[in-house]
Amino acid sequence: MKFPGVLRSKLPKQGTTIFTVMSGLALKHNAVNLSQGFPDFSIPERLVELTHSFMKKGLNQYSPMQGVPALRQKLAEKVSELYSANYDVDSEINITAGGTQAIFTAISAFINEGDEVIIFEPAYDCYVPAIEVNGGKAMYIQMNLAGELIDWEKVKRLINQRTRMIIINTPHNPSGRVMTAADMMKLERLTNGTDIIILSDEVYEHIIFDGMEHQSIARYPKLAERSIIVSSFGKSYHNTGWKIGHVLAPAELMSEFRKVHQFNVFSVNTPIQHALAEFLDDKDHYLSLGAFYQEKRDRFNQLLEGSNFKIKPSEGTYFQLLDYSKISEEKDTDYAIRLIKEVGVASIPVSVFYHQKNEDRFLRFCFAKEDETLEKAAEKLMKLSPL
């Protein structure tokens, strides 16, 4: 069928998200899929049982728009313990249908025509379309993946009267780098006295390695006052398909967030929220997540020892960047496709996270996988010879 009129696309240049494209190709060519980020192992059995039990108890109708109170209560306790932050259960915490929805809703709630939003590249792929569909303008800053991550002087120069929002992401997808306490202090100084809202994507908050501490915005009261923090249960409970996340924000910002949220999702899956509320009592689960994934990172890197890839340090998330410049001169989007078809391993080309041409030769591999999956992938990657 064909639309009979003139179609005026709101996102004329936007194609299908890279995660859908690469996972689709992996399936088609039967490749080991280390592209889209999701675990290939089971979720905690008790979480399934709890969900089932709440379904059987009849908790199958709409939850409150803000989310199930018991879950918000547990989250308030958790952030108070972990980050010494006080978020009001009723007015400052909201359950969402995953991180992407939370980000889209937050941007829609605050970005008007002509507003500028500062983002750091490589940037996770949902930020820019959400800004543009709302009439905003993305202002780009390139991160230095090999050294000091953010040049705050550049940020300072970009801030002006039109700057409405700054989006940060730590631990950072796709690079695996993390922001430091010094970064947070600088961000605090730069935004002090402005109307800027910070959107802090912290969906990998518990996946951080080598004894580093997650620098949640929630730890910094002056920043928290102007911030919306986005988190995700999918990353922490291995259930990305359940699509549940949450948002923390001061009441005034949350009230605006909810004006939009109530009309684009209203509320999210009720029995799962009850199950998560109980499961959150198991603090060990999220406190041991860093060690759990650090082992996977180390295993993957060890398997690649002696390969022709250069391993970029991964400080957090479940992603590992590999530099393939010794193996091929092809651009990453082409090389990633060839790797699927000819070698049988799917990854994500990092250049898609930049708005301009990017000459790096980096591919992103997800190591949230069973050891055997990592072994299978590494065996194939080890065969690649230098140019």
Determine, following the binding rule CB under 6 A, whether residue 129 of this chain makes contact with ligand GLN: no
| Cα distances (Å, whole numbers) of residue 274 to 104, 287, 316 | 25, 21, 29
Return all residues near 150 (Cβ < 8 A) that are at least 6 apart. 120, 141, 143, 144, 179, 183, 186
Smallest gap, in angstroms, from Cβ of residue 35 to ligand GLN? 7
Determine, following the binding rule CB under 6 A, whether residue 19 of this chain makes contact with ligand GLN: yes
- In the shown chain, the binding pattern of residues 75 to 104 toward ligand GLN, with x for contact by CB under 6 A and - for none, equals -------------------------x----
- In the shown chain, the binding pattern of residues 156 to 195 toward ligand GLN, with x for contact by CB under 6 A and - for none, equals -----------------x----------------------
| Residue closest to 162 by CA, chosen among 138, 143, 130, 189 | 138
- Rounded to an integer, what distance in angstroms lies between the CA atom of residue 252 and that of residue 238? 32
Smallest gap, in angstroms, from Cβ of residue 17 to ligand GLN? 6
Smallest gap, in angstroms, from Cβ of residue 177 to ligand GLN? 15
Determine, following the binding rule CB under 6 A, whether residue 314 of this chain makes contact with ligand GLN: no
Cβ-based nearer residue to ligand GLN, 124 or 220: 124
| Residue closest to 150 by CA, chosen among 124, 178, 188 | 178
**Taking CA 181 as the corner, what is the angle to CA 121 and CA 284, rounded to the nearest 5 degrees?**
95
Confirm if 72 and 89 have CB atoms less than 8 A apart.
yes
Smallest gap, in angstroms, from Cβ of residue 241 to ligand GLN? 10
Interacting positions 332-361 with ligand GLN (CB under 6 A): none
- Rounded to an integer, what distance in angstroms lies between the CA atom of residue 285 and that of residue 163? 39
Cβ-based nearer residue to ligand GLN, 38 or 286: 38
HSE, CB side, 13 Å, CA atoms: give it for residue 69. Answer: 1
| Residue closest to 322 by CA, chosen among 297, 340, 356, 341 | 297
Smallest gap, in angstroms, from Cβ of residue 317 to ligand GLN? 8
Burial class (CB in 10 A: 0-12, 13-18, 19+), 151: middle
Which helix (H) or strand (E) segment is 248 a member of? strand 245-248
Smallest gap, in angstroms, from Cβ of residue 212 to ligand GLN? 20
- Rounded to an integer, what distance in angstroms lies between the CA atom of residue 254 and that of residue 248? 8
| Residue closest to 160 by CA, chosen among 107, 115, 122 | 115
Cβ-based nearer residue to ligand GLN, 186 or 243: 243
Cβ-based nearer residue to ligand GLN, 37 or 271: 37
Confirm if 29 and 341 have CB atoms less than 8 A apart.
yes
Cβ-based nearer residue to ligand GLN, 100 or 236: 100
Cβ-based nearer residue to ligand GLN, 17 or 194: 17
Cβ-based nearer residue to ligand GLN, 226 or 364: 364
Smallest gap, in angstroms, from Cβ of residue 173 to ligand GLN? 5
How big is the site for ligand GLN, counted in residues (CB under 6 A)?
6
- State phi, psi for 296 to the nearest 5 degrees: -65, -45
Interacting positions 24-53 with ligand GLN (CB under 6 A): 36-37
Cβ-based nearer residue to ligand GLN, 100 or 163: 100
Smallest gap, in angstroms, from Cβ of residue 269 to ligand GLN? 18
Q: Contact positions toward ligand GLN, by CB under 6 A?
A: 17, 19, 36-37, 100, 173
